[in-house]
Amino acid sequence: MERVAEASGLRKDLTSIFGKGEIVDDLLSLAYYNLLHQDCYNHFESRQKIEWYPTKKTLDPAKITRLTQSLTEQHKQDLFSYRQARITEDSWIAIDSTSFSVYSRHLANSRFGKNKEHDHLPQVNLLVLYDVSSGMPVYYRVLPGNITDARTLATTFKELDIRGFKDIQFLLDRGYITFEVLELLIKKKAGFIMMAKTGDKKISQVIRAISVDDFCVTANYIGKHQLYGMDHEYPFEVHVKGKLRETTPLRLCLFFDPELQGVKKKKIADFIYRNSESLQSHIDEGIPLTDEAIEDFKKYFTLTVHKDTNMLLSFEEKAHIIKQQYIRSGFFACLCNNMDREKYPLSTILDRYGKRDEQEKTFMFIKSTQNGRRLRTSTEPSTEGRVFIQFISLILNSYIHHIYSNSPTLEKLFPTRQHMYHELMSIRRIEHPKKAKIITEFVGKQVDIFEAFMFDIPKGCCPKSKMKKSKKKSTKAIAKK
């Protein structure tokens, strides 16, 4: 973990912010604990007795609370500045958000909202920006738990301008696609790739006008991704101070997957069939519908319901809605701005957008391996401090995942990164007062891990067989020269 903190530049950044005091070691110790153990900080003190951590202090829950509450907004902004400085000019930034459940209802951002885990608790939302080329998170915002993704983007862009994010290209998911967001991005002349909804009126018109047989020809086939694609235009008007500004249409990249079409058509048919049976059983058995069920069924059925009793009298499929679903099945689309067709062919668009998968996984890491699904805090300073430490852990986690996922050796040897951590647990650090510290021998897969990360193994710890091989390689290289 220490090697990862140095390689990712995190230790250097934290030292620049906090100086060479104990607080850097304290923060990194808590971050390491987040990655190594899916447990709360109440058990950190006992872990310190058997595991080495950079901090020299015994951190009990009270000290950890005081540490998290001591972290300020300025510390956070300084860390953003240092992480931003590591972004290259041609970087792509992915933007997405996730939710964290909280136990306290007295936090300013604590609100009831929708979450994928279906937790019936107040929550806060966390918006994170990632450099997809390196997999590194560079910025975050804590938001109210009931706010939608699209509403956060205008403020986020203002803050990015203040922070000096210039000439950055963005990857966005369909949760951000609204008229206001598109207008904002086009006014700023921002380059972006955004997954779009095929149900959008303009995109749906393009799909309806397409003959699948004409679409599925060799000229449109993208061999790398094994699907078909075509370029279209997406007209969009921008008004500035009430006047129409001339803008080039957005680029609409439309893709079609025949296998996906078959799967989706079958799924739609099965859904309609099962819901028809359910509705008929409500009529036959005289079971009233709940208000929630009525809203769910209304998407595909026209219902006749008794006003007072909510008894279902009759139902009919919405044939035109179902037909549209069948027509759009197998298609998906991206909207692009400032993406030249020659420089960014359809295959490259898919490659770029595919990098968002790493970001989705890192959100999963926070809620699983970092034990961050629920924040056990009750005050604003504690919550902000815990999120700050989670962000530090995420930087380390993202660096490790980036190396792990791009190393065939590691993925072959270890099913998960947790297995990789466990492999290193047998290494010991032997300490004697006023004596040099001793690191125990590296064996087997431990050597493979360090080689994959390009970390130097401590002197005298490498197996002799490996040392002989490296010596033979070096003598052969000298002979060739």
| Angstrom distance (rounded) from CA 127 to CA 151 | 12
Half-sphere exposure in the Cβ direction for 217 (13 Å, CA): 7
What does the pLDDT read at residue 238? 81
Close Cβ partners of 228 (under 8 Å, ≥ 6 residues apart): 215, 216, 217, 220, 221, 222, 255, 256, 257
Is residue 68 within 8 A of residue 382, CB to CB? The reply is yes
* Whether residues 199 and 324 fall in one domain: no
* Whether residues 215 and 354 fall in one domain: yes
Is residue 222 within 8 A of residue 231, CB to CB? The reply is no
Is residue 268 within 8 A of residue 326, CB to CB? The reply is yes
Structural domain contains residue 215? yes
Q: Coil, strand, or helix at residue 370?
A: coil
For residue 210, give the CATH number of its domain.
Answer: 3.90.350.10
Structural domain contains residue 461? no
Burial (Cβ within 10 Å: 0-12, 13-18, ≥19) of residue 427: middle
What does the pLDDT read at residue 347? 93
* Whether residues 122 and 266 fall in one domain: no
pLDDT averaged over consecutive 10-residue blocks of the chain (481 residues)? 93 93 93 86 90 91 92 92 82 81 78 72 83 84 79 78 76 80 82 89 91 92 93 84 76 94 93 93 90 89 90 92 92 90 91 78 68 76 90 90 89 89 89 84 91 89 64 50 48
**How many distinct structural domains can be found in the chain?**
2
* Whether residues 311 and 342 fall in one domain: no
Structural domain contains residue 174? yes
* Whether residues 180 and 311 fall in one domain: no
* Whether residues 168 and 299 fall in one domain: no
Structural domain contains residue 200? yes
Structural domain contains residue 440? no
* Whether residues 196 and 274 fall in one domain: no
Beta strands 429-430 and 243-245, pairing class: unpaired
* Whether residues 117 and 242 fall in one domain: yes
Unique residue bearing structure tokens 């803008």: 247
What does the pLDDT read at residue 215? 92
Structural domain contains residue 8? no
What does the pLDDT read at residue 478? 47
Q: What is the CA radius of gyration of the chain?
A: 27
**C-alpha distance from residue 258 to each of 218, 231, 243, 264, 330 (Å):** 14, 18, 44, 10, 6
Entry field: residues in the chain: 481
Close Cβ partners of 231 (under 8 Å, ≥ 6 residues apart): 251, 252, 253, 254, 341, 346
- The last residue of one of the domains, among 366, 389, 412, is 366
* Whether residues 188 and 205 fall in one domain: yes
* Whether residues 219 and 296 fall in one domain: no
Structural domain contains residue 400? no
- What is the domain extent for residue 322? 260-328
* Whether residues 302 and 155 fall in one domain: no
Structural domain contains residue 220? yes
What does the pLDDT read at residue 32? 93
Is residue 174 within 8 A of residue 421, CB to CB? The reply is no
* Whether residues 345 and 297 fall in one domain: no
